[in-house]
């Protein structure tokens, strides 16, 4: 087993560990259409309706206009894709807000503001009462006389 050493405020170890950026997004601009269609067609009923719509393109076996099946199918897929895009955009905005939240770090004995996404392994994060914890932390000290810290 390899031991890991973390040095306080050591900028040279930043490349060894991942950053503190939060990303809960499901899609990117490049993979939205294929990934969303994959999600849609994982459902059996959507596969069934696609099969029926494809069979209706064959005029020998169907007396109905194919638009009567393709129209609703495309509308349902478009509404579902729009909902997924909206939900993913809201996740993006939530992630952006969390990543850009200002936090205090102590570097070279000086307290300064940085964005939560710029916290790296080894940084000393200064939290005050009722502050939101922006990353995984090891508690070094507290202002309480008995050294007690309450975390919810």
The number of domains in the chain is 1
Q: Is residue 152 part of a domain?
A: no
Q: Is residue 144 part of a domain?
A: no
For tokens 């905005």, name the residue: 93
pLDDT digits (tens, 9 = 90+) for 23-53: 999 999 999 999 999 999 999 998 998 898 8
Contact indicator for 8, 80 with CB cutoff of 8 Å: no
pTM score = 0.77
Q: Is residue 108 part of a domain?
A: no
Q: Is residue 60 part of a domain?
A: yes
**Taking the CB of residue 109, how many other CB atoms lie within 10 A of it?**
7
pLDDT band per the 50, 70, 90 thresholds, residue 19 = confident
Question: How far is Cα 32 from Cα 28, in angstroms, rounded to an integer?
Answer: 6
Question: How far is Cα 34 from Cα 28, in angstroms, rounded to an integer?
Answer: 11
Q: Is 6 helix (H, G, I), strand (E, B) or coil?
A: coil
Q: Is residue 74 part of a domain?
A: yes
* Token reading at 16: 């060894």
Domain range for residue 74?
A: 31-99
């Amino acid at each position: 087993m390899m031991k890991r050493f973390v040095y306080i405020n050591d900028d040279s170890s930043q490349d060894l560990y991942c950053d503190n950026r939060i990303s809960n997004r499901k899609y990117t601009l490049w993979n939205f259409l294929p990934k969303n269609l994959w999600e849609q067609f994982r459902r059996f009923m959507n596969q069934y309706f696609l099969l029926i719509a494809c069979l209706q393109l064959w005029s020998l076996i169907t007396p109905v206009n194919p638009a009567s099946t393709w129209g609703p199918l495309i509308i349902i897929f478009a509404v579902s894709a729009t909902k997924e895009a909206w939900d993913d955009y809201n996740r993006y905005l939530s992630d952006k807000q969390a990543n850009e939240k200002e936090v205090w770090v102590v570097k070279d004995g000086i307290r300064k503001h940085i964005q939560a996404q710029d916290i790296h392994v080894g940084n000393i994060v200064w939290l005050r009462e009722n502050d939101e914890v922006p990353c995984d932390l090891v508690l070094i000290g507290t202002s309480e006389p008995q050294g007690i810290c309450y975390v919810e």
